[in-house]
């Protein structure tokens, strides 16, 4: 009698194990604590769960994020506001401090705080930034600049010149070579520093033969790059190009920031259909990055947002492939923000934690020595 029960339990157990195996095969887990040589942080600005779901249901019920084995949530609030802006949100990721809305790479007392990109550069890793906004916009800026206000675009461009970011693609050339606050031509100064510089109106990105030994800067526009609807299409290709370039640029590994900047803007405008196009472009970008990362065992990929934008909901009456989005605000909202992680040390990103912990977890994954006192001194 007892033996029969045991036998049935065994049958049931083996049945359950068989059912589960395809799932676990799809998303390989790395040995916990394995060092990440490379980190790719992908930020879909304003991309909450509704934005991800809308993209998935507009893409035959598939999303590149489904291959990520670890999922967590971060608390997005800033130092002075329960709802962050993109400057404070990016500073939390980049520097590990909660700061006031509008601050770029500075703590609440306006002291500059070192960023993970700067630390990576200092340690000999290659670094890159690929965005669909101006390069000097809040999200990328927090990784290489230190300014009290996000609107200081020309000063942010000057800060970028003082760094050694190896690979840069984004808009906003005007803040480099048509400046109002001084007569400097930063494009020329970047060239003098050894950068190979390319421009949207002269060079097609896909035709450029990239030299992995030279620093690379490609301007996609004079001011903000166009939307997907207006013909922009470079983000998936540029992100993959960046990963390939950076993996050849240094033996030590790399840190790459990729931002789908315009999901947020369509959220502010409450434009559901256009928002979904931007979210689908970001989905394609994740797909391209995962083609790089899934072939190797040394690259940690993290996908998250700084905050949700628009208070977006998928409305009653929506159908698979035909999503109607409804919005509750023209601004950001304060919900928890999802985080998806793949690769070595991905397990660190499960659970619920502060947005500043993303910085600490990335440093832990890269096995950077602990210098938390530097940021701790700034009243974190």
41 φ/ψ sector (left φ>0, alpha ψ -120 to 50, else beta):
beta
| Pairwise CA distance, residues 132 & 170, whole Å | 6
Residue 308 touches which member of Mg ion, Zn ion, none, C-beta under 5-8 Å by kind: none
Nearer to Zn ion, 222 or 264 (CB): 264
CA distances from 292 to 246, 285, 346 (A): 12, 11, 16
Reduced to 3 states, what is the DSSP secondary structure of residue 205? helix
Nearer to Mg ion, 75 or 307 (CB): 307
- What is the radius of gyration, based on Cα positions, of the chain? 21
| Pairwise CA distance, residues 47 & 336, whole Å | 11
Residue 155 touches which member of Mg ion, Zn ion, none, C-beta under 5-8 Å by kind: none
| Pairwise CA distance, residues 99 & 83, whole Å | 12
Q: Which helix (H) or strand (E) holds 256?
A: strand 254-260
Nearer to Zn ion, 305 or 348 (CB): 305
Q: Which residues bind Mg ion (CB under 5 A)?
A: 45, 86, 139, 261
Nearer to Zn ion, 49 or 205 (CB): 49
| Pairwise CA distance, residues 37 & 35, whole Å | 6
User: Do the beta carbons of residue 269 and residue 327 sit within 8 Å?
Assistant: no
Q: How far is the CB of 133 from Mg ion (least distance, A)?
A: 6
**Phi, psi for residue 83 in degrees, rounded to 5:** -120, 115
Q: Give first-to-last CA distance, the chain, whole Å.
A: 62
HEC per residue, 261-303: CHHHHHHHCCCHHHHHHHHHHHHHHHHHHHHHHCCCCCEEEEE
Q: Which residues bind Zn ion (CB under 5 A)?
A: 264
Name the closest residue to Mg ion (Cβ): 139
Q: How far is the CB of 262 from Mg ion (least distance, A)?
A: 9
3-state helix, strand, coil in the chain (%, to 5): 40, 20, 40
Residue 261 touches which member of Zn ion, Mg ion, none, C-beta under 5-8 Å by kind: Mg ion
Q: How far is the CB of 263 from Mg ion (least distance, A)?
A: 9
Name the closest residue to Zn ion (Cβ): 264
Residue 166 touches which member of Zn ion, Mg ion, none, C-beta under 5-8 Å by kind: none
Q: How far is the CB of 323 from Zn ion (least distance, A)?
A: 21
Known catalytic residue: 78?
no
Q: How far is the CB of 131 from Mg ion (least distance, A)?
A: 7
Nearer to Mg ion, 248 or 268 (CB): 268
User: Do the beta carbons of residue 66 and residue 52 sit within 8 Å?
Assistant: no
Nearer to Mg ion, 139 or 224 (CB): 139
From 58, 78, 86, 261, the catalytic residue: 86
Q: How far is the CB of 282 from Mg ion (least distance, A)?
A: 12
- Would you name the residues annotated as active-site residues? 86
């Amino acid at each position: 009698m007892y033996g029969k029960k045991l036998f049935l339990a065994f049958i049931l157990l083996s049945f359950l194990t068989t059912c589960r195996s395809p799932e676990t095969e799809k998303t390989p887990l790395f040995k916990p604590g394995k060092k990440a040589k490379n980190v790719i942080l992908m930020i879909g600005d304003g991309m909450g769960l509704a934005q991800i779901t809308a993209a998935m249901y507009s893409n035959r019920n598939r999303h590149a994020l489904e291959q990520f084995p670890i999922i967590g949530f971060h608390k997005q609030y800033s130092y002075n506001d329960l709802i962050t802006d993109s400057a404070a949100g990016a500073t939390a990721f980049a520097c590990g401090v909660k700061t006031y809305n509008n601050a770029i790479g500075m703590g609440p007392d306006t002291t500059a705080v070192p960023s993970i990109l700067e630390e990576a550069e200092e340690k000999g890793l290659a670094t890159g930034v690929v965005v669909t906004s101006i390069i000097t916009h809040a999200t990328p800026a927090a990784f290489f600049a230190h300014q009290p206000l996000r609107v200081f675009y020309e000063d942010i461009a000057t800060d970028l010149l003082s760094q050694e970011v190896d690979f840069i693609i984004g808009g906003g050339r005007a803040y480099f070579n048509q400046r109002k606050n001084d007569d400097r031509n930063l494009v020329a100064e970047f060239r003098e520093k050894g950068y190979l510089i390319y421009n949207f109106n002269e060079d097609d990105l896909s035709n450029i033969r990239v030299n992995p030994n030279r620093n690379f800067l490609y301007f996609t526009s004079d001011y903000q790059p166009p939307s997907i609807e207006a013909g922009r299409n470079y983000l998936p290709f540029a992100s993959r190009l960046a990963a390939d370039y950076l993996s050849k640029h240094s033996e030590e590994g790399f840190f790459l920031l990729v931002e789908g900047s315009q999901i947020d803007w369509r959220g502010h405008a409450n434009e559901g259909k256009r928002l979904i196009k931007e979210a689908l472009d970001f989905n394609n970008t994740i797909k391209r990055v995962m083609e790089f990362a899934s072939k190797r065992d040394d690259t940690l990929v993290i996908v998250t947002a700084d905050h949700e934008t628009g208070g977006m909901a998928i409305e009653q009456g929506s159908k698979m492939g035909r999503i109607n989005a409804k919005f509750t605000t023209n601004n950001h909202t304060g919900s928890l923000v999802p985080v998806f992680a793949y690769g070595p040390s991905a397990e660190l990103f499960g659970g619920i934690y502060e947005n500043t912990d993303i910085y600490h977890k990335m440093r832990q994954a890269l096995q950077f020595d602990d210098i938390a006192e530097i940021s701790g001194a700034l009243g974190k």
